[in-house]
Amino acid sequence: MLPRPPIHWILDFDGTITQQDTLNTLVSISAATKPSFPTSEHWSRVTKAYLDDYSSTLSHLAPAKKLPSTLPEEKKRLLNLRPVEERSLARVSASSIFTGLTWQQLHTGAQQAVHQGQVRPRTGFTTFYNSINSPSQANPQNQDKTAILSVNWSSHFLHACLSAFSPCLSPTILANDLDSLSPATPSTPSTGHITPNILSSGDKLQHLERLRAQDAMRRPIVYVGDSWTDIEALLAADLGICVRDEPLGESQRQLTDALERVGVRCLRLRELGEWRVGEGRGEEGGGRVVWVRDWEEIREFSEGRAFPEG
């Protein structure tokens, strides 16, 4: 059997690399830096406004709960939800929750959150990352690439969490950003405004396609995600991998239901057998979509190992 080709791994962060969503932790870090500011009240208000807006928009898009049954219809539905995310970011920026936060405070707070167990990587992630980035290949062109696409509000927060997981974790990170934060000026306070780079499923797809076009080696893309926001990237990748818990989390259930509605079959990765680059879903384009419980399964796949029974 020929060795597998180098792969371009593109990964979601919250709920995919980590065990849980990390937005509450990000807010808590800012709250700790200004105890006299009513962060909790502002956060509760913007959270409720987002949930109300999201629920109302979903109901409007699916009267009588008639949900899409084709991928183009599903993409249109997701596109129509993007303004909900735009309004949410505007509310958060206006709330001043992150105003005054510095890069140094964010970096220190994120690392403390990891060390205290508030932010935890999923089983096997660090081992997986180390295995695909080992200097075993003399030619860098033969090595895997890694990038993270996230709707998280701070790429610096993601960098800090990853470096706390392991010092060697330094992939390309594409996410939203808090204004004015930079390691070059670690004490400069943020304005509290969030620059919206990635808000939606469609945004993730656009960035994936841009990364694909920029890779001179044309490495096949394996995308790993866990939620509905990942669906277009999962379907556009050469291989899409869904992370699923038992029982399914809410965002995982939303993604699972959407894949089933639009007719995408999703086997467990260990049931896929030998994967061939270019093996896709026919006229729809894109590659296969599978699911896993943890990063150990993905590492075994990346190393070309046979999967155990069951």
pLDDT tens-place string over residues 222-257 = 999 999 999 999 999 999 999 999 999 999 999 999
The pLDDT, as a whole number, for residue 175 is 98
Core vs surface per residue 71-90: b (16+ CB within 10 A) or e: beebbebbeebeebbeebbe
What average pLDDT score do residues 59-86 get?
Answer: 93
Cα 161 to Cα 156: distance, rounded to the nearest angstrom? 9
Percent of the chain at pLDDT > 70 equals 90
Q: Are 251 and 231 in contact, with CB atoms under 8 Å apart? A: no
What's the gap between Cα 302 and its chain centre? 19
Helix (H/G/I), strand (E/B), else coil: 251: helix
pTM score over 0.85:
yes
Please give the span between the terminal C-alpha atoms of the chain, in angstroms, as a whole number. 24
The residue ranges of every structural domain in the chain are: 8-302
Cα 17 to Cα 214: distance, rounded to the nearest angstrom? 24
Angle at 172 between CA 97 and CA 167, to 5 degrees: 85
Q: Which CATH superfamily is domain 8-302 in?
A: HAD superfamily/HAD-like (3.40.50.1000)
Q: Are 225 and 234 in contact, with CB atoms under 8 Å apart? A: yes
What's the gap between Cα 75 and its chain centre? 18
Q: Residue 132 pLDDT > 90, yes or no? A: no
Percent of the chain at pLDDT > 90 equals 80
Strands 177-178 and 194-195: antiparallel
pLDDT tens profile 137-177: 546 667 889 999 999 999 999 999 999 998 877 789 999 99
Q: pLDDT-based confidence at 285, cuts 50/70/90?
A: low
Helix (H/G/I), strand (E/B), else coil: 32: helix
The pLDDT, as a whole number, for residue 135 is 61
Cα 1 to Cα 50: distance, rounded to the nearest angstrom? 51
What average pLDDT score do residues 205-210 get?
Answer: 98
Computed over every residue of the chain, the mean pLDDT equals 91
Lowest mean pLDDT among 92-101, 188-197, 273-282: 273-282
Q: Residue 307 pLDDT > 50, yes or no? A: no
| CA dist list (Å): 89 to 132, 197, 241 | 35, 11, 28
Q: Residue 308 pLDDT > 80, yes or no? A: no
Joined together, the tokens standing for residue 145 give 């690439």
Q: Are 230 and 279 in contact, with CB atoms under 8 Å apart? A: no
H helix intervals, the chain? 23-33, 39-61, 71-95, 103-115, 125-132, 155-165, 201-214, 231-236, 250-261, 295-302
